[in-house]
Amino acid sequence: MTHIFAKSDDPKDLVADLLKTIALKQTAPDVFVAPSFDYVGPRIFGGQVLAQALMAGALTLEYDKPCHSLHGYFLRGGDVRLPVTYQVRRLRDGRSLSAREVIAVQYVPNDAGELNEQVIFSMIASFSPMEGGLEYQEPMPEYPEPDSLLNEQELKSSYVGNVPEALKARFMRKRHVEIKPIDPRDPIAPTPMRPRQANWLRISELGEQPVAVHQALLAFASDFYLVGTGLMSHGLSYLSRGLQVASIDHSMHFHRPFDINEWILYDMWSDTTSHAKGLNHGQFWQDGKLVATTQQEGLMRLHLDTKA
């Protein structure tokens, strides 16, 4: 059954929801179950599955070893009414590197009342302690500071008058991650533009948590806006009529320590769209340091209205 969010927009209650999302219950050796939450609608939010899968892999490690990379495929849309089971396979445990395969499944009842196992996501993640070594990075891009920007909730208030009545309540729901778009675009009437965007994000009431929690919640947040970057050059948004959008795959590399309680710059761009797919890239920056990168291919299929 879908977990119910706290009926409050208080940041502490929103953080409590996030921590419940990644609080997995072990049901067998290397098998974990997690609830589903209605973050974006009847299909499970991809960021939820990324975060939970990463936590499942981390829970099989002998100590709190950071993830340095993950590569996942979204195979089916998950049903938000059902919990998700994460099956972990220990591929390797070496002196520094540990590798885990994580399969996310849901047990879906058929007409006969039997439960069919459906794989919705598959991921391989590698974990390694952060150690000294050769250091290089490009300079952090220059953008306005977050204190000078409006947050999503303030921006949505200026658009809500043009949102269909049936969608207004969901449109105005407060996000569990605080996001400040740097150059916001109108989601109701978007115009074609260069496919590059950037946001500041943070979870300010998280407090002190293990590195696995910070990484899982950054993976969660990485799924906001990224696939939409490929829509920008076409003058489309999630609210565009006839548009089908879904994540196909998602990878992340974690380069340096970070604190998601504090503002993180999420810089995103798309360099190609073709064959109903778009390739999108992102970099996360904090205090001038490149802390993580991500890449995602998304489905972006436009069903034209032939009756028009």
Contact 261, 202 (CB under 8 A): yes
CA dihedral 130, 34, 176, 266 (to 10 degrees): 30
Cβ-Cβ contacts under 8 Å for 203 (sequence gap 6 or more): 15, 18, 176, 177, 178, 217, 221, 260, 261
How far apart are alpha carbons 169 and 17 in whole angstroms? 19
**φ/ψ of residue 257, rounded to 5:** -60, 155
Contact 238, 228 (CB under 8 A): yes
The two tokens of residue 75 are 């195979």
Catalytic position from the list 126, 197, 283, 296:
296
- 247 belongs to the catalytic site: yes
Catalytic position from the list 48, 197, 247, 286:
247
Q: What is the DSSP string of 261-301?
A: TS-EEEEEEEEEEETTEEEEEEEEEETTEEEEEEEEEEEEE
How far apart are alpha carbons 180 and 83 in whole angstroms? 31
Question: Which residue's structure tokens are 């996501």?
Answer: 121
Contact 123, 67 (CB under 8 A): no
Catalytic position from the list 48, 98, 223, 270:
223
How far apart are alpha carbons 88 and 70 in whole angstroms? 14
Sheet holding 84-93, edge to edge: 25-28, 31-34, 84-93, 98-109, 115-127, 67-74, 243-254, 289-302, 277-286, 264-274, 196-202, 178-181
Q: Which residues are annotated as catalytic? A: 223, 247, 296
